[in-house]
Amino acid sequence: MGGVLQVENPFIAKAKMKQLRRGLPEARSRLSSRQVPDFMRWDAPPVYAPVMELEGTRAEQMEKYSRLREILARLPGLDCGGCGAPTCEALAEDVVRGRAKPEDCTVLMRRRLEELLQERSRGDDQS
């Protein structure tokens, strides 16, 4: 009722829900219905997909995990999502899998650009 990361008193939230149901008769009828819509029915049981596992043999996985930790240590750890990955750990995993580059991190790219600009301005000052 309060939105993402907003705490709401459960009693107030319940009262708000009751008020919403009173105002929306079509929502009330759908909420009271016990039928499951067809698009929510599964024809087959879910299939396991090893999304969080690194591919390869156990030794290759351990090597990739070590590389992942090294890359993660160099990333800022802000989890800003500017690179397109939801977290820095996800970006590190994408780098290890070959789907991304460490340079995709916008924070590191900005720091590198600032360093280059400072070096260039120092070079201009000396000449």
Q: Locate the domains of the chain by residue range.
A: 58-126
Q: What is the 3-state secondary structure (H, E, C) of the chain?
A: CCCCCCCCCHHHHHHHHHHHHHHCHHHHHHHHCCCCCHHHCCCCCCCCCCCCCCCCCHHHHHHHHHHHHHHHHHCCCCCCCCCCCCCHHHHHHHHHHCCCCHHHCHHHHHHHHHHHHHHHHHHHHHC
pLDDT in tens, 32-69: 456 777 777 788 888 887 777 888 899 999 999 999 99
User: What CATH architecture applies to the domain 58-126?
Assistant: Orthogonal Bundle (1.10)
CA 42 to chain centre: 27
Q: What does the pLDDT read at residue 49?
A: 79
User: Which residue from 63, 76, 71 is spatially nearest to 95, judged by alpha carbons?
Assistant: 71
CA 99, 105, 108, 113: dihedral to nearest 10 degrees? 100
Specify the pTM.
Answer: 0.58
Q: What does the pLDDT read at residue 22?
A: 76
Mean pLDDT by 10 residues, the chain (127 residues): 67 82 62 65 81 86 95 93 91 94 94 93 79
